Amino acid sequence: MNFEFSEEQTMIKDSVTRFVREQYDFDTRRGIVESAEGISRDFWSMFAELGWLSVPFAEEYGGFGGNVVDIAVVMEELGKGIVVEPYASTVVVFGGLLSAATNEDLKASVIPSIIEGNCLGSFAYMEPQSRFEMADVTTTAKPVDGGYTLNGVKTVVANGGTANSFIVSARSSGDQFDRNGISLFLVDSTAPGVEVKPYKMMDGQSAATVTFNNVSVDDTHLLNAPGEAMDLIDQVMPQILIGLSAEALGIMTTLNSLTVDYSKTRQQFGTPISSFQVLQHRMVDTFMACEQSKSMLYRGLCESKSVSEGETDGSALVKTVHALKATVARYGKTIGEEAIQLHGGIGMTDELNIGHYVKRLMMINTAFGDGDYHQKKFNQISYMS
């Protein structure tokens, strides 16, 4: 038994930590967020050179051959700097779906370009009515000779404005909520009939509404068997939830340490406010919240490893990742709100970094299902079988 990172993982971790500390201070980040594209292409090229973009991909595509622990290591450190470059969207989600896809030709052509830094990708799944239900899909994929025609609207597509490639969920059969009949397609953002309307989200990251008007897709652009999108999504979801939770943990850790440090310097009533027991106990509670979140993440990592090594089936892992996302949502909210409260007035300002960390946590909270959604899934597995 051990909870240590391997030598390689420690090297990646140190490399991301150093980047955040030395090159991604809060003012630099603000400059990037306020730029036209909202991301730094220079940094993205650097991520490619440093090998970060290759982490989860198989060696046959030029990848590092890493696992979910490696992803978590990178995501946690990126979270500490609230890095806005679309690592989660491109590498973890888009890249994760591609890695799990069965279309070998497609993988061989796209994955190397992700690793080189030339492909920014995004998973276009959410629709105006779908909220957290992946299988609520009204975008249609009508079979035509040699392919499909896509029609529909995807909304709040992460990184949608800068992505040059989308994985799109679209329905070729079944009714609106049917888990069967949904297919995943790789679609170029400049393909005829694709309309991208980009906008900024509250966490400084970009998103877009993407409309598909009679978009022709060759059936060589199907990720896996037609109609079986949900199988692929279910397979990749633990990795997505773990990656986002690791980012959240990095943010929670940072918020707690910023708050503790601030309380030691802020003087009121002639003494540092850290000397007040009522505040001490609140900071102890947020410390414990962070430790419990970390433990749940580690549980997810250990169970993922045991599934990937063929020692256990995925049932315990599925339950754990629901619990992980719900825990991170609950404690992320607590930690964010306490960070603002303990900073007082200054915590309310846009100038201070605190609110920006909190807003990223809020976006993570709702991504791929909020806390209540995942707790209900957890309940179904635990108490209804």
Partner 1 sequence: MDIKFSAEDIAFRDEVRAFFAKEYDATVAEQLSGSAGTDYKSAIVNWQKKLHAKGWIAPGWPKEYGGTGWTSTQKFIYETERGLAGIPDVVPFGLKMVAPVIYTFGNEEQKARFLPRILESEDWWCQGYSEPGAGSDLAALSTSADYAGDNYIVNGRKIWTTFAQYADWIFCLVRTSKGVRRQEGISFLLIDMKSPGITVKPIVTIDGKHSLNEVLFEDVAVPTENLIGDQDKGWTYAKALLAHERTGMAEVADSKRMLDGLKKRAAAEINGGKPMIEDPVFQMRMSDIEMELMALEYTELRVFASMAAGGMPGPESSLLKIKGTEISQAIHELQLQLAATYGGALPSELSSDELGHDFAAEARGKYMYGRAATIYGGSNEVQRNVIAKAVLGL
Binding site for partner 1 (CB under 8 A): 1-6, 69, 260, 263-264, 274-275, 277, 280-281, 283-285, 287-288, 291-293, 295-296, 298-299, 301-302, 305-306, 320, 323, 326-327, 375, 378-379, 382-384
Q: How far is the CB of 52 from partner 1 (least distance, A)?
A: 19
Please state the closest distance from residue 12 (CB atom) to partner 1, in A.
14
Alpha carbons 347 and 370: distance in angstroms, whole number: 25
Nearer Cβ to partner 1 (179/305): 305
Element (H, E) at 104: helix 104-116
Q: Whose Cβ is closer to partner 1: residue 84's or residue 296's?
A: 296
Sign of the alpha-carbon torsion through 72, 74, 79, 82: negative
Q: Least CB distance from residue 290 to partner 1, whole Å?
A: 11
106 vs 326 by CB, closer to partner 1: 326
- Smallest distance from the beta carbon of 256 to partner 1, in angstroms? 9
- CB atoms inside a 10 Å sphere around CB 166: 27
Distances (CA, A) of 54 to 57, 113, 364: 6, 10, 23
CB of residue 299 to partner 1, shortest distance in Å? 5
Stated as kind and residue range, the H or E segment containing 31 is: helix 26-34
Comparison of 205 and 263: residue with beta carbon closer to partner 1: 263
DSSP for 271-306?
Answer: EEGGG-HHHHHHHHHHHHHHHHHHHHHHHHHHHHHH
> Which residues, other chains included, contact 73 with Cβ-Cβ below 8 Å and sequence gap of 6+?
5, 9, 12, 13, 16, 246
Whichever of 57 and 378 has its CB closer to partner 1, that residue is 378
Q: Which is nearer to partner 1, 63 or 371 (CB)?
A: 371
For partner 1, the closer of residues 23 and 382 by Cβ is 382
Least distance (Å) between residue 296 CB and partner 1: 4
User: At closest approach, how far in Å is the CB of 219 from partner 1?
Assistant: 40
Instruction: Give phi and psi for 99, each to the nearest 5.
Output: -60, -35
What residues are paired with 140 via a beta bridge?
Answer: 151, 171
Token digits of residue 94: 């888009």
User: How do beta strands 165-171 and 121-124 pair?
Assistant: parallel
What would the DSSP string read from start to end of 304-363? Answer: HHHHHTTSS-SHHHHHHHHHHHHHHHHHHHHHHHHHHHHHGGGGG-SSSSHHHHHHHHHH
Kindly state the greatest CA–CA separation across the chain. Answer: 79
CB of 324 to partner 1, least distance (A): 9
Amino acid at 45: S
In the complex, minimum distance from the CB of residue 249 to partner 1, in angstroms, rounded to a whole number: 12
According to DSSP, residue 60 is labeled G
Compare residues 179 and 282 and give the one whose CB is closer to partner 1. 282
Q: How far apart are CA 19 and CA 80, in angstroms?
A: 11
Q: Nearer to partner 1 by C-beta: 28 or 315? A: 315
